Each structure stands twice: as structure tokens, then as C-alpha cells.
Amino acid sequence: MIIVIDGPAGSGKSSTAKEIANRLNIQFLDSGALYRAVTFHWLNSGKSDIRSFIELLPDVKIASKYKNNTFFVSLDGSDITNQLRQHYVAEHVSEIATQPDVRMFVNNYMRNLVVNGTYIADGRDLGTAVFPDAEIKFFMTASIEERARRRFNEIKETDPGVTLKDVEENIRQRDNKDQNRASDPLKKADDAIEIDTTGKTFEEQISEMISIIENKTKLNH
Ligand code: DC
């Protein structure tokens, strides 16, 4: 079974999905981390043009697991989790995520993964393109200022050179690219439930979403 949460960068999808996964004892799948992993791989591949990098994709061995509140990703056997949130990866990820071959690679990985088990996954196009038959779909939103503040607090320790203004600008650009790209743009699915988290406490939004899940499924915490 799969529950999906889509929404723009910094709307709180990952922290919400993790908390719900912990409380309901299900798996968490972070699709953005997979796009970041492919981006990280490209930036370290020595290939300056994306086309020649894409030819290497069929040989890439990606793996992930959710443990101790962290979504770990490894590439060809090396753990790269700590690199994925760095600003230089964020600066290039939208470019990589517009490539249809990359999207196919990530989507295939995710569809194979969720065959066994119950997952809550977060992303941009999960309810529309990747899992159109998901049992429950949420679409989370929050104001751009609030999203930038949250993302900045999340990365300031691992990336001390970055400023709040950098993060806000990066989120603005990513919103623009995510919503206007040709392949699978960020869009609320018609049957998704919208959750606007601006001004809501974390506990309020979690309780609201868990009661929706409990009403629609047999999952209980
Ligand atoms: O959620 P995030 O910020 O970690 O996502 C990183 C990037 O990956 C984001 O700029 C858009 C892209 N992405 C995507 O295109 N489709 C998804 N399902 C998830 C993320």
C-alpha cells in the first residue's frame, strides 16, 4: 500500500511523512533524495553534458533504506546520505529532474521498491504520474517565507556558508522550474487532499493527516 504526499520544496513533506511513518510503523520513501542522488552522481561523474551522463544510468546501482529517522541512500555501494542536502546539489537538482530518462530511472526504482510493504512517500508528481492509484494522496503547501525558514534551519549546520536569502532564492527558482517543466510538473492531483501548513503546529498537521489515514484505511498507531 502506498500513501503519497506531494507539494513544493520546503512545505514540510519529508518531516511530516517521516513522523507519520514512525507513528504508524510503516516505511518512508523520499523521492527528492533519489533525484538528489542522481544529481550528486552527475556532479561527480566528470561528464559535463547531461546526455553523456544519462547513458551511464542503466549501470547505476542505487539503494535506499529508512532507519533511525533517516532516509539513507547509497550509490554503487557507498553511502551518500550526508551529501544530498548540500547547497551545490540543490542548485543543480531541478536541471537533472527535468530529464525524462532520469525520471524513468527514479520512478522504476520507486515502483519496484513499494511492491513489498506499506510506504508513505513524498515528492512532486507521486499522486499524478508515479502512483496515480495511491490509496491516499495529500498535497501540502505553505508560504514561501515559511518554507525557506524551515529549509534553512535544516541545512545550516551541514552547510554553514549558506544564508536564508540564498535558500529563499533557491526555493523560488525551484518552484518555478518544478511547476513549469514539461515532464511531470508539480501539480495537485484531482483526488489529493490539500493540507496548508502555514501557521499550523507540527502536531496539528500530523494529527489531521493521521486521522484522515485512519478513516480511510485500517492503519492504527
Ligand atoms: O523534495 P526535495 O527538495 O528533496 O526535491 C529535490 C528536487 O527533486 C526538487 O527540486 C524537484 C525534484 N523532484 C521531482 O522532480 N520529483 C519528485 N517526485 C521529487 C523531487
104-141: per-residue pLDDT in tens?
Answer: 999 999 999 999 999 999 999 999 999 999 999 999 99
- Contact (CB, 8 A) for 169 and 162: no
Looking at residue 178, what is its pLDDT?
85
Nearest alpha carbon, ligand 1 atom 14: 124
Nearest alpha carbon, ligand 1 atom 1: 32
In a domain, 148, yes or no: yes
Nearest alpha carbon, ligand 1 atom 5: 32
CATH number of the domain bearing residue 45: 3.40.50.300
Longest dimension (CA), the chain: 50
Report, as ranges of residue numbers, the positions in the chain whose pLDDT lies below 50. Answer: none
In a domain, 209, yes or no: no
In a domain, 210, yes or no: no
Mutate to test the pocket of ligand 1, among 31, 43, 131 (most ligand atoms within 8 A of CB): 31
The domain tally of the chain equals 1
Looking at residue 106, what is its pLDDT?
97
In a domain, 97, yes or no: yes
In a domain, 195, yes or no: yes
Looking at residue 144, what is its pLDDT?
94
Residues 77, 60: Cα–Cα separation, whole Å: 10
Q: Which residues line ligand 1 (CB under 6 A)?
A: 9, 31-33, 35-36, 93-94, 97, 123-126, 174, 178
Looking at residue 52, what is its pLDDT?
92
| Centre of ligand 1 from the C-alpha of residue 177, in Å | 11
In which domain, by residue range, is 52 found? 2-204
| Centre of ligand 1 from the C-alpha of residue 107, in Å | 12
Nearest alpha carbon, ligand 1 atom 20: 32
Looking at residue 9, what is its pLDDT?
83
SS (H, E, C) 9-69: CCCCHHHHHHHHHHHHCCEEEEHHHHHHHHHHHHHCCCCCCHHHHHCCHHHCCEEEEEECC
